[in-house]
Chains A and B, each alone.
Chain A
């Protein structure tokens, strides 16, 4: 089943900027897709629309067969909380809150009871290898650690899909690889659908499929022949 179905999506911002010119694609459940393109091509704009954070100006978009307008604002909030996980390009964490508190946040906005929250959050932190930093305030962490905390937070509610906007954009090669390894594992071992945004080819090649965007249009949409595996690379 197509978890995501986008048809001729246009986005014109209120200042007249025409960011998307008719974008169409599908993403299946369990798929690992990369959206690639140069800076300013409209990648983040697209991600916000498919993540129900913004609405398209024209065209149709369905998540799980339903469009944004089928839901009340509270239901949209609930979907973002339960079925989607976000890793943003920048400013992912509450800087003065601890790692544990940051990862607990999605659970606070869900119906998970107080005592279960910490258990689930600690598990998620463990899965990104940051248990030893759980009580650190977020602003004390390195860039790579921050992105890993953001991933832990994105997966803590066991969402169907995880959106990651340039998760390695500001990281050096080594921490970038650590992050990609975790994302790969989320897809292969835990079966999360992943939409990864990047402008780097070697990062995009971790995915099964690359959708290339240029000037607000889909330039190409191809399966990756020779996938790049972070873990294998590490061994070399």
Chain B
């Protein structure tokens, strides 16, 4: 007997009991569908997040004041800490301190809204450097210009706004040269940014950027920064540069014990790793749920196969009398189990792909996310492999029982 013979026999007997076969594989179908969706959606989420972070650039290093938050209670600490000041900029800009730093920008977050002739809008208002933002995130003015170093030095009341801010305040009219109000202070719009959408940092269509010096003095009346954003020469030197920054700031702040740091450094690498860790943990959890589903599905298959072996005692005896060896019978029943689970796997793969495509479509269409459908080839292969394996594992016992039946016991079975 050849493998093809075993295969044909298995198909024939499964065909006789179609409804039962279909119900038997339900558990496997559900398990594999879940694997496919999990992998597809997980990968899609990872891509989405990494793309957004990618917008910020892997060479970006952010310095925040206060202690690194280890829980929600530390958050206030950070927001109201005033440890980052102008002298830190000078320390950081010195080449001998941080040799691989190319650019430094302090950032100020201004709560509030903007208005123009009765129209009001609540954007994200930043005090910073328009040129730095433009470079770091690849956003460029579609209308007008960016404000420059001299505007920052002179605490000029100028603003660069996002495309959505412009339509909200000005409709279809040009915005450059007009004066908008932020906290009762007038700012002249010098440029409007092109559409960029959501990034990990902020939605650039909804921003208003003013010089950080202006924000400090006229909008908030503070002398510290909420954040200092810096760039290293390349992603490879980020770790070293982060350590240089820490050393430099400790020197500037007269800190000897790193435990007492009043600032902390965040690299994109760290964020990426954090996200991957979270996604990994989530996937591991879901995987264990799926694994349980597959085991339950496998036990279902074993159960049905055992029933089938008993029901077909007579057939087994007859086959043995006609010359089937134990191996022939074993193969026949094992193939049935594998065929069942593999069919379940196949259906699961198709359903999983369809559902994740649907989910991707919905997230894009109704969730407004830049979500891309990912067909998880690895999940497909895994799904097929796992389902066949479940067939082998849970089919082996019933198949062995069938193979070991003695022909006369089988022939006398009523």
Residues of A near any B CB (own CB < 8 A): 48, 51, 53-54, 73-74, 77-78, 80-82, 86, 88, 91-94, 96-97, 105-106, 108-110, 153, 157
| A-contacting 9-mer, from B42-50, B70-78, B311-319 | B311-319
Which interface residue of A73, A82, A91, A96 has the most chain B CB atoms within 10 A? Answer: A91
The 10 closest A-B pairs by CB, nearest first: A81-B323, A109-B323, A77-B325, A53-B407, A54-B408, A106-B322, A74-B325, A80-B323, A48-B408, A109-B324
Task: Name the one of A73, A86, A96, A97 contacting B322, with C-beta atoms under 8 angstroms.
Answer: A86
Task: Name the one of A53, A78, A80, A110 contacting B408, with C-beta atoms under 8 angstroms.
Answer: A53
Residues on B with beta carbons closer than 8 Å to the beta carbon of A108: 1, 5
Nearest CB of chain A from residue B31's CB, rounded to whole Å: 31
Q: Contact at B321–A80, with CB atoms within 8 Å?
A: yes
A153, B321: Cα distance in complex, Å: 12
A80, B16: Cα distance in complex, Å: 28
A82, B328: Cα distance in complex, Å: 16
Q: Contact at B408–A77, with CB atoms within 8 Å?
A: no
A109, B314: Cα distance in complex, Å: 17
Q: Contact at B1–A109, with CB atoms within 8 Å?
A: yes
Q: Contact at A91–B322, with CB atoms within 8 Å?
A: no
Residues on B with beta carbons closer than 8 Å to the beta carbon of A96: 12, 16
Task: Name the one of A77, A88, A94 contacting B411, with C-beta atoms under 8 angstroms.
Answer: A88
- Chain B contact surface mostly: helix
Task: Name the one of A94, A106, A157 contacting B315, with C-beta atoms under 8 angstroms.
Answer: A94
Residue of B nearest to A81 (CB): B323
Q: Contact at A91–B314, with CB atoms within 8 Å?
A: yes
A-B CB contact pairs (8 Å), 17 listed: A48-B408, A48-B411, A53-B407, A53-B408, A53-B411, A74-B327, A78-B323, A80-B320, A80-B322, A81-B323, A88-B318, A88-B411, A92-B318, A94-B315, A105-B319, A109-B324, A109-B325
Which interface residue of A78, A106, A108 has the most chain B CB atoms within 10 A? Answer: A108
Q: Contact at B408–A73, with CB atoms within 8 Å?
A: no
Residues on B with beta carbons closer than 8 Å to the beta carbon of A97: 12
1/0 contact string of B362-406 vs chain A (CB within 8 Å): 000000000000000000000000000000000000000000001
Residues of B near any A CB (own CB < 8 A): 1, 5, 12, 16, 314-315, 318-328, 406-408, 411
A153, B16: Cα distance in complex, Å: 22
Q: Contact at B328–A109, with CB atoms within 8 Å?
A: yes
A142, B10: Cα distance in complex, Å: 27
Which interface residue of A53, A74, A77, A96 has the most chain B CB atoms within 10 A? Answer: A77
Known: A53-B408, A53-B411, A91-B411. A81 touches B322 (CB 8 A): yes
Q: Contact at A105–B322, with CB atoms within 8 Å?
A: yes
Nearest CB of chain B from residue A147's CB, rounded to whole Å: 14
Known: A53-B408, A54-B406, A54-B408. A86 touches B321 (CB 8 A): yes
A93, B321: Cα distance in complex, Å: 12
Q: Contact at A106–B411, with CB atoms within 8 Å?
A: no
Which interface residue of B323, B325, B328 has the most chain A CB atoms within 10 A? Answer: B323
Nearest CB of chain B from residue A177's CB, rounded to whole Å: 26
Task: Name the one of B12, B322, B407 contacting A153, with C-beta atoms under 8 angstroms.
Answer: B322
A96, B68: Cα distance in complex, Å: 73
A51, B114: Cα distance in complex, Å: 100
A84, B11: Cα distance in complex, Å: 28
A108, B4: Cα distance in complex, Å: 11
Nearest CB of chain B from residue A31's CB, rounded to whole Å: 22
A54, B5: Cα distance in complex, Å: 27
Residues on A with beta carbons closer than 8 Å to the beta carbon of B315: 94
A78, B408: Cα distance in complex, Å: 17
Nearest CB of chain A from residue B115's CB, rounded to whole Å: 82
Residue of A nearest to B323 (CB): A81
A94, B313: Cα distance in complex, Å: 12
A153, B323: Cα distance in complex, Å: 12
A80, B322: Cα distance in complex, Å: 6
Residue of B nearest to A159 (CB): B323
A74, B1: Cα distance in complex, Å: 13
Q: Contact at B323–A110, with CB atoms within 8 Å?
A: yes
Nearest CB of chain B from residue A96's CB, rounded to whole Å: 5
Residues on B with beta carbons closer than 8 Å to the beta carbon of A93: 318
Task: Name the one of A48, A51, A94 contacting B318, with C-beta atoms under 8 angstroms.
Answer: A94
Residues on B with beta carbons closer than 8 Å to the beta carbon of A77: 320, 323-326, 328
Residue of B nearest to A150 (CB): B318
Residues on B with beta carbons closer than 8 Å to the beta carbon of A157: 323
Known: A91-B314, A94-B315, A97-B12. A109 touches B408 (CB 8 A): no
Q: Contact at A91–B318, with CB atoms within 8 Å?
A: yes
A105, B12: Cα distance in complex, Å: 13
Residues on A with beta carbons closer than 8 Å to the beta carbon of B325: 73-74, 77-78, 109
A93, B319: Cα distance in complex, Å: 10
A82, B324: Cα distance in complex, Å: 11
Residues on B with beta carbons closer than 8 Å to the beta carbon of A82: 323
Q: Contact at B321–A53, with CB atoms within 8 Å?
A: yes
